[in-house]
Amino acid sequence: MTQSYAASRDTTEGKVFTVTGGDWDQVTSGIDPLTDERIVVNMGPQHPSTHGVLRLVLELEGETVTEARPVIGYLHTGIEKSIEYRNWVQGSTFVTRMDYLAPMHNELGYALAVEKLLGIEEQITERATTIRVLMTELNRISSHLVWLATTGMELGAISMMLYGFREREYILDIFEEASGLRMNHAYIRPGGLAQDIPDSVVRKTREFLTYLPKKLKEYEDMLSGQPIWHERTKGVAVLDVTGCLALGITGPVLRAAGLGWDLRKTMPYLGYETYDFEVPTATTADVWGRYEVRLAEIRESMKIVEQALDRLKPGPVVIADKKIAWPAQLAIGVDGMGNSLEHVAKIMGQSMESLIHHFKLVTEGFRVPAGQVYVSIEAPRGELGVHAVSDGGTRPYRVHYREPSFVNLQAIPAMAEGALLADVIAGGASLDPVMGGCDR
Amino acid sequence: MTDVNPVPAGASTGAPAEYPPSTRAGKGLFGVAGTGDTSGFGGLVRQRPPVVTPPRPFGGYLDEVYDALEEAYPQFGDAIERVDVHRGELTLHIAPERIAEVCRVMRDDPALRFELCSSVSGVDYLGSDERRLHVAYQLTSMTFRRRVRLEVGVTPDAPEVPSVTSIYPTADWQERETYDMFGVIFVGHPNLTRILMPDDWEGHPQRKDYPLGGVPVEYKGAEIPPPDARRTYQ
Residue-wise pLDDT tens digits, B109-138: 888 889 899 999 999 988 778 888 999 999
> Considering only CA atoms, which of B151, B24, B57, B175 is closest in space to residue B99?
B151
> A7 in a domain, yes or no?
no
Non-local CB neighbours of A373 within 8 Å, separated by 6+ positions = A113, A116, A117, A387, A388, B86, B87, B89
Question: Do B181 and B115 share a structural domain?
Answer: yes
Question: Do B144 and B70 share a structural domain?
Answer: yes
Q: Which residue out of A86, A114, A397, A399 would a mutagenesis test of the B interface target, given it has the greatest number of B Cβ atoms within 10 Å?
A: A397
> A20 in a domain, yes or no?
no
Tens digit of pLDDT for each residue in A100-125? 899 999 999 999 999 999 888 888 99
Question: Do B122 and B42 share a structural domain?
Answer: no
Could you give the CA distance from residue A201 to residue B37 in angstroms, rounded to a whole number? 45
Tens digit of pLDDT for each residue in B135-173? 999 999 998 899 999 999 999 999 999 999 999 999 999
Binding-face residues of B in 159-218 toward A, CB within 8 A: 168-174, 177, 181, 194-198, 205-206, 212, 214
The identity of residue B55, as a single letter, is: P
> A91 in a domain, yes or no?
yes
Q: Which residues pair with A71 in a beta bridge?
A: A55
Phi/psi region, residue A367 (left: phi>0; alpha: psi -120 to 50; beta: rest), is beta
Q: What domain range is B28 assigned to?
A: 1-50
> B179 in a domain, yes or no?
yes
Q: Which stretches of A189-271 are DSSP H helices? A: 199-223, 227-233, 241-247, 252-256, 263-266
Could you give the CA distance from residue B61 to residue B52 in angstroms, rounded to a whole number? 19
What is the predicted pLDDT for the residue at A31?
60
> B58 in a domain, yes or no?
no
Measured in angstroms, the CA of A367 and the nearest CA of chain B are apart by 6
Question: Do B98 and B24 share a structural domain?
Answer: no
- A45 prior amide bond cis, ω within 30: yes
**Helix, strand, or coil (residue B93):** strand
What Å distances lie between residue B200 and B176, B179, B203, B207, CA to CA? 15, 14, 10, 18
Number of domains composing chain B: 2
Question: Do B93 and B69 share a structural domain?
Answer: yes
Residues in chain A with pLDDT < 70? 1-6, 18-37, 47-51, 336
What pairing do the DSSP bridges indicate for beta strands B160-162 and B185-187?
A: parallel
> A11 in a domain, yes or no?
no
Could you give the CA distance from residue A192 to residue A200 in angstroms, rounded to a whole number? 20
Q: Which residues pair with A40 in a beta bridge?
A: A59
> B42 in a domain, yes or no?
yes
> B23 in a domain, yes or no?
yes
CATH classification at residue A239: 1.10.645.10
Q: Contact B169/A364, CB-based, under 8 Å?
A: no
Number of domains composing chain A: 1
Q: Which residues of A132-143 are buried (b: 16+ CB within 10 A; e: fewer)?
A: bbbbbbbbbbbb
> B210 in a domain, yes or no?
no
Question: Do B106 and B177 share a structural domain?
Answer: yes
Question: Do B75 and B20 share a structural domain?
Answer: no
Q: Contact A261/B117, CB-based, under 8 Å?
A: no
> A403 in a domain, yes or no?
yes
Q: Contact B119/A73, CB-based, under 8 Å?
A: no
> Considering only CA atoms, which of B215, B208, B181 is closest in space to residue B44?
B208
What is the predicted pLDDT for the residue at B26?
42
Provide, as residue numbers in chain B, all residues whose Cβ is less than 8 Å from the Cβ of A248. Answer: 116-118, 168-171
> Considering only CA atoms, which of B149, B153, B151, B150 is closest in space to residue B132?
B153
Tens digit of pLDDT for each residue in B26-75? 444 455 555 555 555 545 555 555 555 677 777 778 888 888 888 888 88
Question: Do B39 and B118 share a structural domain?
Answer: no
What is the predicted pLDDT for the residue at B21?
38
> B102 in a domain, yes or no?
yes
Non-local CB neighbours of B25 within 8 Å, separated by 6+ positions = A367, A368, A369, A370, A392, B19, B31
> A266 in a domain, yes or no?
yes
Q: What domain range is A97 assigned to?
A: 79-324+366-439
The identity of residue A153, as a single letter, is: M
B48 shares contact with chain A (CB less than 8 Å): yes
| Partner-chain residue, chosen from B23, B115, B196, that has the shortest CB–CB distance to A76 | B196
Q: Contact B89/A385, CB-based, under 8 Å?
A: no
Could you give the CA distance from residue A397 to residue B208 in angstroms, rounded to a whole number? 9
Question: Do B46 and B115 share a structural domain?
Answer: no
CB B224 within 8 A of CB A83: no
Residue B15, pLDDT > 70, answer no
Measured in angstroms, the CA of A297 and the nearest CA of chain B are apart by 21
CATH classification at residue B110: 3.30.460.80
CB A70 within 8 A of CB A54: yes
What is the predicted pLDDT for the residue at A380?
92
Question: Do B72 and B159 share a structural domain?
Answer: yes
